[in-house]
Amino acid sequence: MRETVARFAVAYRRHLHPDGRLDDDAPAFARDPARLIPLYRAMVRARTFDAKAVALQRTGQLGTYASALGQEAIGVAVGSAMRPEDVLLPSYREHAAQLLRGVTMTELLLYWGGDERGSDFAGPREDFPVCIPVATHACHAVGVAYAFRLRGEARVAVAVMGDGATSKGDFYEALNAAGVWRLPLVVVVNNNQWAISVPRSRQSAAETLAQKAVAAGIHGEQVDGNDVVALRAALDEALGRARAGEGPSLVEALTYRLGDHTTADDASRYRDDDEVRRRWAEEPAARLRSHLVAVGAWGKADEEALLAEARAEVEQAVAAYLATPPPAPEAMFDHLHAELPAALARQRAEVAGRGGHG
């Protein structure tokens, strides 16, 4: 005898189309331009910062940098949906979310400039620093969410990672544990179609990445990652479920990496230029701007004022970053141990004795 014991489906959500047209079943907040304009402003702010960071790296004033060009809707949706008391565990393309959470541009530049003081946020003190290792922060997020549940706190841990992270063991272990314990965790997969030079099609044989939630017994869905309206609606629901004790969620945001993987990469060596040009027609900022213009809520003067404001903010942050004195060389020893082992204590004393010129 053979029979079907279970059936599963993966939902896909889109409300705002590439031409700026809004679906009839879009959430109520999307009918109010006053709710959408802050989302658009946040995307432009993040993109302006992003462009300047790349320029700083190209002129030797910043270390290797991971651009979020074309993926701003994901960070903006995450950052705007979270409450201040929630905890963000970002990967390396979440500048938009971090800026909305209160991390300053100067702190971000310090971090990418190799100064770990940039991870000591003055704003969201409990948010995690940027996670460079792929998917390791998925397990950290489970620990954070478990702590929230033990304390009886209505808070949510939100971890953001790329499509390549879903191939890692840490990812599967984290989802499984979160499902078993019904933890207040939301995992957002930024599926930008490329894990450095490896295309999504060679990352996983799964038809969607959202279906990986099925094996963990948790809610999973796929969303147009260039549609900030659909993303925000999906995250509002996921965060609401987590806060209400209804368990974790996985949101797969389908987008496209318009730039290189990092400034150490050259995507033109492995990616077709025509494909990139086609993807520009779907990018999130222009999509929302088209909608706002169509409903009479945005115009040329608004755009020019916003760009001037964003550029001025970025330039002010760059000036503060470049004026920040470097940390003392012995500072590298100061945050790894509560009490330095003898060998490291000797090294620290030796470095300090060189007077910062070692």
261 counts as catalytic = yes
Residue-wise pLDDT for 53-89, tens only, equals 999 999 999 999 999 999 999 999 999 999 999 999 9
Closest by Cα among 5, 107, 11, 73 to 229: 73
One-letter identity of residue 206: A
Which residue in the list 31, 58, 270, 346 is annotated as catalytic? 270
The more confident residue out of 352 and 318 is 318
% of the chain beyond a pLDDT of 90: 95
Residue range 310-326, pLDDT digits in tens: 999 999 999 999 999 99
What are the DSSP calls for 332-351, one per residue?
Answer: GGTTS-SS--HHHHHHHHHH
What do you get for the CA distance between the two ends of the chain, in Å?
75
Pick the closest to residue 232 from 36, 98, 90 (CA basis). 36
CATH number of 11-326: 3.40.50.970
Annotation says 182 is catalytic: no
Residue ranges per domain, the chain?
11-326, 328-357
pLDDT one-digit tens code per residue, 21-47 = 999 999 999 999 999 999 999 999 999
Average pLDDT of 159-178?
A: 97
357 has catalytic annotation: no
Res 355: pLDDT: 63
Using CA atoms, how far residue 290 sits from 59, 74, 252, in Å, is 34, 18, 25
State whether residue 7 is helix, strand or coil: coil
Q: What is the pTM of this model?
A: 0.95
C-alpha to C-alpha distance for 214 and 252, rounded to whole angstroms:
13
pLDDT, residue 299, reads: 98
Confidence of residue 244 (pLDDT cuts 50, 70, 90): very high
Query: Rounded to an integer, what distance in angstroms lies between the CA atom of residue 320 and that of residue 118?
Result: 12
Q: Among residues 13, 101, 241, 261, which one is catalytic?
A: 261
Nearest-angstrom CA–CA distance, 171 and 175: 6
- From 95, 257, 287, 289, the catalytic residue: 257
- Which pair of structure tokens corresponds to residue 294? 């169509």
